[in-house]
Amino acid sequence: MGRIKVAVVGVGNCCSALVQGVYAYRELGKVEGLLHEKVGGYTPADIEFVAAFDVDARKVGKDLAEAIFAEPNCYEKIYDVPKIGVTVKMGEVKDSLGEFLSDCVEISKGPPVDVAEELRSTGAEVVVNLIPTGGVEASNWYAEQALKAGCAFINATPAEIAVSTEWASRYQEAGLPLVGDDVMDQIGATVLHRNLLEFLVRRGVVVEETYQLDIGGGLEALNTLQKDRGDLKRQVKTVAVKSAIPYEVPVVAGTTDYISFMRNSRNSYFWVKGRYFNGAPIKMDIILSTVDAPNAASVLVDVIRGVKVAMDKKMGGVILPLCAYGFKRSPKRISLDEAEKLLKEFLEK
């Protein structure tokens, strides 16, 4: 069916997990924990990385296979990726690094490349935006470069791209797929919280209050300690969780702290209080421990292939089945069960 030519923006831990997973599948013919072996006939082996952009001097100028293991990345080496032949190019610094990331990122002194031209010259079809939370201007700028180059755009960050009517209209006019925003993990806190609440509501439980608090050791956890960036992430998570309950309930969801020695792992704490038959009380206190990078990468492996299916079908604009399936901030709030049905219908048409 041909390869899916992908460009990545932000060579961080998630990119590392994504690249390692794709190459492991190519070599071994399987990867544990895949959500879907085939998406529209495409397997993970059909994903081909043709371009990569970052701003850290320790990554810029290196082959992507080497850059994914450069500091400050801390996701472990699961698979020894061979040299890819894709050099990480210097992107644009459009936002402040913030009060916490500025001590962790070493900005390259080299000049930025012409990103749109790089995308065109490498034959990229799909751009995956993996820059950190808070990179709102950069996310918009890369969406513009992808549009100029004739590429589909996947926004894995909380920046408002897929939910923007302006961006949706422009991608629709160009006949290019647009999906996002803020990728939802395979078995992360938000998706588990939503599933749990949907289950309780279906079983007649009246939910009275609930929270989800995360602590982690990755740069994303550190970055969200900055109030404006943490508030943005918290807002997206809270709205996503609230969509699981058909009535107004106090809900809090977000990252609360950074612990460096946890590295790329995350602990999520859930609390649910409610009532069931005849007002009987129910309380739930749960902890979930995960590794961040592969949690997001596993969903992106599906979404990338889904976007290629949309391109094969000559579809442009927001691809709602992919947004609802893989992202916290979908342009339309849809239950997880319904999102799975929409995805299946989209792939079978």
Residues in the chain, total: 349
How many Å apart are CA 67 and CA 76, to the nearest integer? 13
What pLDDT shows up at residue 255? 83
What pLDDT shows up at residue 233? 87
Q: Give residue 68's region: left, alpha or beta (phi > 0; psi -120 to 50).
A: alpha
What pLDDT shows up at residue 321? 97
Annotated domain spans of the chain: 4-184+294-348, 189-292
What pLDDT shows up at residue 178? 98
What pLDDT shows up at residue 197? 97
What pLDDT shows up at residue 86? 98
Cα 88 to chain centroid, rounded = 20
What is the CATH code of the structural domain delimited by 4-184+294-348? 3.40.50.720
Nearest to 134 by CA among 102, 171, 163, 89: 102
Level-2 CATH architecture, domain 189-292: 2-Layer Sandwich (3.30)
Q: Render pLDDT for 57-70 as a digit per residue (tens, 0 to 9).
A: 999 999 999 999 99
Residue 87, classified by CB atoms within 10 Å of its CB into exposed (0-12), middle (13-18) or buried (19+), is middle
Identical fold for domains 4-184+294-348 and 189-292, yes or no, is: no
Cα 189 to chain centroid, rounded = 13
What pLDDT shows up at residue 232? 85
What pLDDT shows up at residue 72? 94
Mean pLDDT by 10 residues, the chain (349 residues): 94 98 94 94 97 98 98 95 98 87 92 98 98 93 98 97 98 98 95 96 98 92 87 91 96 90 95 98 97 96 98 98 96 91 93
What pLDDT shows up at residue 349? 79
How many Å apart are CA 155 and CA 295, to the nearest integer? 16
Alpha carbon separation from 307 to 159, 304, 344 (Å, rounded): 19, 5, 14
What residues contact residue 209 under an 8 Å CB cut-off, 6+ apart?
249, 250, 251, 271, 272, 273
What pLDDT shows up at residue 256? 83
What pLDDT shows up at residue 169? 98
Pairing of strands 152-155, 177-179: parallel
